Structure 1
Amino acid sequence: MPVDYEINAHKYWNEFYKIHENGFFKDRHWLFTEFPELAPSPNQSDLNDWLSENKRGEVPEGRSKEDGPGLKIEEQHMYSSDSFGCKLQMPPVEEDVTQKFSHLEICADEFPGSSASYRILEVGCGVGNTVFPILQTNNDPGLFVYCCDFSSTAVELVQTNSAYDPCRCFAFVHDLCDEDTSYPVPRGSLDIIILIFVLSAVVPDKMQKAINRLSRLLKPGGMMLLRDYGRYDMAQLRFKKGQCLSENFYVRGDGTRVYFFTQEELDTLFTTAGLEKVQNLADRRLQVNRGKQLTMYRVWIQCKYRKPLLSGAG
């Protein structure tokens, strides 16, 4: 596998977002139909309005609008919630209840969103096409949403979006494959972790450790939600021979990469990380691009896996 694509992965994604900014991806209006866990205590009328106004978008010919970004840590500014839930600067948290960082002791009750009663993390948030629909639809005062991405450009676009509210959301740059960099939350503190078209951007031999780390952040009973590319999706079949880096792992023309999963592979990843299957299904459908008169066979895998209530894992 060419080393350049791994070493410079963040450069390819930064360039992608500099070119497309907010114009490539569409807000994921199907979120609350497929993943009602993202709206645990919503204002039901607001949710119904959202669902009635927005239909599932058509996926255009070629690269999907649902392609997810990779993740990379470059510069990180951590914040803690003050008594009003807004930000105060502080260093990262994650592994233990108490850690020391350059003479400053950080406790588990001092992290962004520490006063929240329901915490969601999206890994690979891109420009916020999942995060902002959640914030706009779920008015639960106890909700706090974390989001991170490989691309510093993408995170900057999230933070400068008019809908970004630091009292309800914390966006940060992070590489989910970086074992030496902590997430800004303690173990066992998250209710939901979302992975939407992002795990496929990771080198296959790094996927298991990434999922293991994320699993440790879930509360007992917490859920990991995934939607990603399935084996023999149209996008896989259209790659040319020279674009294959390894089995079922490809590089696009812009240097970004993508893997195509089977249900069994994902089940192994999640169960090895100590999670229990709630859902693992293949979503197969024909989509029509009327403008180009093309019929496209799409295959996506959708999974929900839960942290056991009495877990010895992590």
Structure 2
Amino acid sequence: MADSCPEPGGKRQPFGGRLLSDPARVFHHNAWDNVEWSAEQAAAAERKVQENSTQRVCQEKQVDYETNAHKYWNDFYKIHENGFFKDRHWLFTEFPELAPSQNQNHLMDWLSENKRSEVPECRSNADGPGLIEEQHKCPSNSLGHKAQTLPVEEKVTQKLSHLEICADEFPGSSATYRILEVGCGVGNTVFPILQTNNDPKLFVYCCDFSSTAIQLVQTNSAYDAARCFAFVHDLCDEDKSYPIPGDSLDIIILIFVLSAIVPDKMQKAITRLSRLLKPGGMMLLRDYGRHDMAQLRFKKGQCLSENFYVRGDGTRVYFFTQDELDTLFTTAGLEKVQNLVDRRLQVNRGKQLTMYRVWIQCKYRKPLLANTGS
């Protein structure tokens, strides 16, 4: 994804702030937000998708792309190393949850707003400053009476007992704010976070399917093993656990990564990730939307299945709708905070070219009374 044009002084304008009111000014800036598509343009995009989907990749090749997916991504990073993607400094504008001043503030505010409405009959009193109230479902005995509320200290101990057991077994165990990026590539998200956020209580985990990408992250001069842990992990591997305990992460980031896996495996992948979030923790996603320019550029013979394609280098990509993503997250037990379409018109002022991009941006939160999904 290309970053949108920064404002004078280097600060990127938030999405939605630059609107094209006069078509004659289209080449005055590099990008325009919330660009409305005409009925004719939408119909033409649909025709193009139907056209490039008529001829499917043969089953033998589809098996190869799935079986050897790690090889294709390793080859990609061997060729491009860290020169293909730009650092994503726009993240702090679109996802302020990652900004240094935020950290636990969004969670604390949300807890404060909801502590009286979630389960009022189950409230417990904080026993001293700085202790967040924990809220739990009230267990009942066979006569239907609510069990006596446990002291806050005992509830917190029960809630975090598995973390205490694993305290010496995973990196970042002493951190109070933990972020995981899945599909980190060569660190274009991780390093801006580490460079911008100097909070000593922050710890960032990052993983990628490609061992070559992880090696590039670990050998980067900005990599600090005291604040970051990079590891190889297959998002679709149901047998391999993440090296992080459940209910321990504040933020999980997925930036143009979910679209790279087989659609049939997406739900289980999101459900497994949701179990790593703390109650109140959030999953942040930005990915390709239906009828994005990249989808319309595919030729016949590159379609694997509906809205799922293979690029010339063997890597794959899916193009989402908002409803599809909402189903994935809510089925995993998460609650919608944001689900928007970023329809952007990017322009090449030198060549006088226009490019219509469609991205989807989501924020979904794990409720205090977590439902881990199916």
CA distance in structure 1 between the partners assigned to 2:85 and 2:303 by the alignment: 25
Q: CA deviation at 1:97?
A: 2.9
1:97 matched to 2:156: no
Task: Select 1:114's aligned residue among 150, 173, 195.
Answer: 173
**Displacement, 1:311?**
1.4
Instruction: Give the drift of 1:109.
Output: 1.3
Residue in structure 1 matched with residue 70 of structure 2 by the alignment: 10
Deviations 1:288-308 (A, max 9, x none): 123443210000000000000
> Using the alignment, how far apart are the partners of 1:286 and 1:221 within structure 2?
35
Which of 125, 133, 141 is equivalent to 2:184? 125
CA RMSD in angstroms comes to: 1.6
More strand by share: 1
Matched residue of 1:241: which SS?
A: coil
Counterparts of 2:303 and 2:371, CA distance in 1 = 39
Question: 1:143 and 2:202 equivalent?
Answer: yes
1:97 aligns to what SS in structure 2?
helix
User: What is the deviation of 1:245?
Assistant: 0.4
Q: Which runs of 5+ in 2 are unaligned?
A: 1-58, 104-160
1:141-220 to 2 correspondences below 5 Å = 141-220=200-279
- Is this contact kept in 2: 1:42–1:138, CA < 8 A? no
Give, as a single letter, the amino acid of the residue that structure 1 aligns with 2:223: Y
**Is residue 33 of structure 1 aligned with residue 93 of structure 2?**
yes
Determine the C-alpha separation between the residues in 2 that align with 1:8 and 1:113.
32
Q: CA deviation at 1:234?
A: 0.3
Aligned 8 A contact 1:119 1:190 in 2: yes
Work out whether residues 41 and 140 of structure 1, in 8 Å CA contact, stay in contact via their aligned partners in 2. Answer: no
State the 4+ residue runs in structure 1 displaced beyond 3 angstroms. Answer: 40-43, 290-293
Question: Take 1:220 and 1:291, find their aligned partners in 2: how far apart are those partners?
Answer: 49
Q: Is 2:346–2:354's contact at 8 Å kept on the other side of the alignment?
A: yes
Task: Tell me, in whole angstroms, the C-alpha distance in 2 between the residues paired with 1:228 and 1:139.
Answer: 28
Q: Are the equivalent residues in 2 in contact too, given 1:42–1:139 (CA < 8 A)?
A: no
- SS of corresponding position for 2:259: helix
Q: Is the Cα–Cα contact under 8 Å of residues 243 and 250 in structure 1 kept in the other structure? A: yes
What secondary structure does 2:273 align onto? helix
**Counterpart of 2:215 in structure 1: which amino acid?**
E
Contact 2:334 2:371 in 1 (8 A): no
Contact 2:100 2:198 in 1 (8 A): no
The Cα shift of 1:312 comes to 3.5
How big is the shift at 1:114?
0.1
Counting matched residue pairs gives: 255
Contact 1:26 1:129 survives alignment (8 Å)? yes
* Counterpart residue number, 1:264: 323
TM-score (norm. length: structure 1)? 0.79
| 1:40 Cα deviation from its structure 2 partner | 4.7
8 Å Cα contact 1:275-1:305 kept in structure 2 = yes
- Pick aligned residue for 1:227 from 271, 277, 286: 286
Give the secondary-structure state (helix, strand or coil) at the position aligned to 1:301: strand
1:28-82 Cα offsets, whole Å, 9 max, x none, are 1101000011125369xxxxxxxxxxxxxxxxxxxxxxxxxxxxxxxxxxxxxxx
Question: Is the partner of 2:85 in helix, strand or coil?
Answer: coil
Please tell me whether Structure 1 or Structure 2 has the larger radius of gyration of its CA atoms: 2
Residue 54 of structure 1 corresponds to: none
Displacement of 1:4? 0.4
Does residue 278 (structure 1) correspond to residue 343 (structure 2)? The answer is no
- Structure 2 distance, partners of 1:312, 1:11, is 36
Counterpart AA for 2:311: R
TM-score, reference length from structure 2: 0.66
Q: List runs of 5+ in structure 1 lacking aligned partners.
A: 44-95, 99-105
- State whether residues 336 and 363 of structure 2, in contact with CA within 8 Å, keep that contact through their aligned partners in structure 1: yes
- Deviations along 1:151-189, one digit per CA (max 9) or x if unpaired, are 000000000000000000000000010011110110000
